[in-house]
Amino acid sequence: MDWDDLRIFLAVARSESLSGAGRRLGMDASTVGRRVARLEAAVGAVLFLKTPQGYALTEAGERLVAPAEASEKAALAAAEAVRRETGISGQLRIGAPDGCANYLLPQVAGAMCAAHPGLEIQIVAQPRVVNLSKREADMAITVSPPDTGRLVVQRLTDYRLHLAGQADYLDRHPPIRDLEDLKGHRMIGYIPDMIFDRELDYLSETGADSAALSSNSVSVQMQAIRAGAGLGIVHDFAMPFVPELRPVLARRIALTRAFWLLRHADDRASRRLTLLAEELAQRIRHEVQRLEALLWRQPVSRT
């Protein structure tokens, strides 16, 4: 059985579509379809059923997943064994919530690529947890540790968040000295039924029952606050990128959360991924500390 056909089979199984597998593999959907048909002929069984939702594995396809993943693991180990020890190369795909993806990973990934010229990093920013079992990414950063799954879990770093508003917006309104003063302000936050992790439910910290303006994206919330649409909870490490924002009631409303790094358990034996995970963790810790220090060196109000 051809490993390359198994590689294509796994891509279709994980993306549940020919076009999605093709994008991942760098080939057109028709070629993917032909290769799947060739594999089905070789094993003498139908591996996928086409449904309105996409390509679903048959019982025969389900049975093939484990040996195909074992072949994948062996192929990766073989490639690693012949890779030069002088540098880390190849592709690394990192999934992350969009706050981390927008304000931390660009500079962290840039530094890693500079240190390893043969390394290619892809950042998947999604308002949900990336599915490592379907190999949507090699590693995922989350805001809480998972309860289930065959995963290697590593705590990366704590980070802080504060209520913030745009400077001109704050100047146009009476001073905010207490939680009671927030009642006259519009709050900006997450869409309640689209909060994918309980750690992102910030509004209770402000005493507000609901947000007047909401989005499932941290970046959209940030832009709304920047536009003077109201007040919202903002990552401390993001505020240096938007200098017109000011913390509000910083001593009263201060949140601490943590980032976690997840890897598939099968990747534990990969020295390359282990080294990349260690470097990623170290650089993220440093970047969070650097940006938070920048914010609190500024002459901002902490009332």
User: Does an H or E element contain 295, and which?
Assistant: helix 271-297
Q: Which of 82, 114, 143 is the last residue of a domain?
A: 82
CATH of the domain at 115: 3.40.190.290
Q: What are phi and psi of 213, to 5 degrees?
A: -135, 125
Helix 3-15 vs helix 59-82: crossing angle, to nearest 10: 120
Percent of the chain predicted with pLDDT > 90: 39
The mean of the pLDDT values for the chain is 85
Question: 66 and 111: one domain?
Answer: no
Question: 60 and 109: one domain?
Answer: no
Q: Which of 26, 56, 82 is the last residue of a domain?
A: 82
**Strand 231-235 and strand 54-57: pairing?**
unpaired
Question: 126 and 266: one domain?
Answer: yes
Question: 201 and 299: one domain?
Answer: yes
Number of domains in the chain: 2
Nearest to 259 by CA among 240, 283, 243, 231: 283
**Lookup result for tokens 């099968």:** 266
Q: Which of 82, 113, 144 is the last residue of a domain?
A: 82
- Rounded to an integer, the average pLDDT of 156-162 is 92
Question: 171 and 213: one domain?
Answer: yes
Question: 158 and 179: one domain?
Answer: yes
Summarize pLDDT for 169-211 with one digit per residue, the tens: 999 999 999 888 888 899 999 888 877 677 777 777 777 778 8
Q: What are phi and psi of 160, to 5 degrees?
A: -120, 155
Helix, strand, or coil here: 241? helix
The predicted model scores a pTM of 0.69
Helix, strand, or coil here: 78? helix
- Res. 43: pLDDT tops 60: yes
pLDDT band for 1, please (50, 70, 90 cuts): low
Bridge partners, 247 (sequence order) = 164
Question: 30 and 96: one domain?
Answer: no
Instruction: Label residue 139 left, alpha or beta by phi (over 0 means left) and psi (-120 to 50 means alpha).
Output: beta
pLDDT number for residue 84: 46
CA 223, CA 11: separation in Å to the nearest integer? 36
- Res. 65: pLDDT tops 50: yes
Summarize pLDDT for 86-132 with one digit per residue, the tens: 468 888 999 999 899 999 999 999 999 999 999 999 999 876 666 66
Question: 115 and 32: one domain?
Answer: no
- Res. 61: pLDDT tops 80: yes
CA 210, CA 303: separation in Å to the nearest integer? 23
Question: 192 and 259: one domain?
Answer: yes
Question: 96 and 118: one domain?
Answer: yes
Summarize pLDDT for 241-252 with one digit per residue, the tens: 999 999 999 988
| Half-sphere exposure at residue 107, Cβ-oriented, CA atoms within 13 angstroms | 14
Summarize pLDDT for 5-31 with one digit per residue, the tens: 888 898 888 888 898 888 777 788 888
Question: 143 and 28: one domain?
Answer: no
Summarize pLDDT for 200-249 with one digit per residue, the tens: 777 777 777 788 898 988 899 999 999 999 999 999 999 999 999 999 99
Q: What are phi and psi of 214, to 5 degrees?
A: -140, 155
Q: Which domain holds residue 61?
A: 3-82
CA 117, CA 36: separation in Å to the nearest integer? 35
Is residue 121 within 8 A of residue 113, CB to CB? The reply is yes
CA 117, CA 98: separation in Å to the nearest integer? 26
Tokens of 118: 């043969």
CATH of the domain at 33: 1.10.10.10
Report how far Cα 243 is from the mean position of its chain's Cα atoms.
25
Question: 76 and 173: one domain?
Answer: no
> Residue 110 is which amino acid?
G
> Residue 19 is which amino acid?
S
Helices (H) and strands (E) in the chain, counts: 9, 11
